[in-house]
Amino acid sequence: MSEPAAPAALEWAGVALLALSGALAGLLETLLVPLYAGSVIVPVSVVLAIVSNMVLPRLARALVPRTSAAIAPFLTWLVVVVLFGVLARPEGDVVLPGSPASVQYVVYGVIFGGALAGTATLVMMTPPPPSRKGSGVSR
């Protein structure tokens, strides 16, 4: 059997573009948290966070069949959401608002929903370790 060919530079460039897309998705989702329709908050950013963290790692894994390729878009999304949403600027303000309470639910939905969706996607895509012959475990 021959080994699969190493990923080409063009495929890794596609993974880099998907990582950039993950960062832009994180920025867009943090900016869409306080989206209102009249006086009602619209939690579209939660849906976008979940969908983007399910789709972008799968696309990266389709380009380069390695777990490190699938981690790149999720990791850039996570860095952007943490930097723009959680850490305060020197002036003391943050992009993700902390009040009113209805907005807080959307903030937590974006952070935890997106992180959970990305982590679950990565875990489901990671292949199981190869079984060892002669390990002494009988089934």
Tokens encoding 18: 């998907």
Residues ≥6 apart with Cβ < 8 Å to 64: 7, 11, 12, 14, 15
Q: For residues 100 and 105, what is the distance between their CA atoms, to the nearest angstrom? A: 9
* Per-residue model confidence as pLDDT tens digits over 42-77: 999 999 999 999 999 999 999 999 999 999 999 999
Q: What is the mean pLDDT of the chain?
A: 87
**Residue 35 near residue 44, CB atoms below 8 Å:** yes
The pLDDT score that the predictor gives to residue 51 is 97
E-strand stretches of 1-139: 36-37, 40-41
Ordered DSSP codes for 4-41 = PPPPPHHHHHHHHHHHHHHHHHHHHHHHTTT-EETTEE
The pLDDT score that the predictor gives to residue 1 is 52
The pLDDT score that the predictor gives to residue 8 is 87
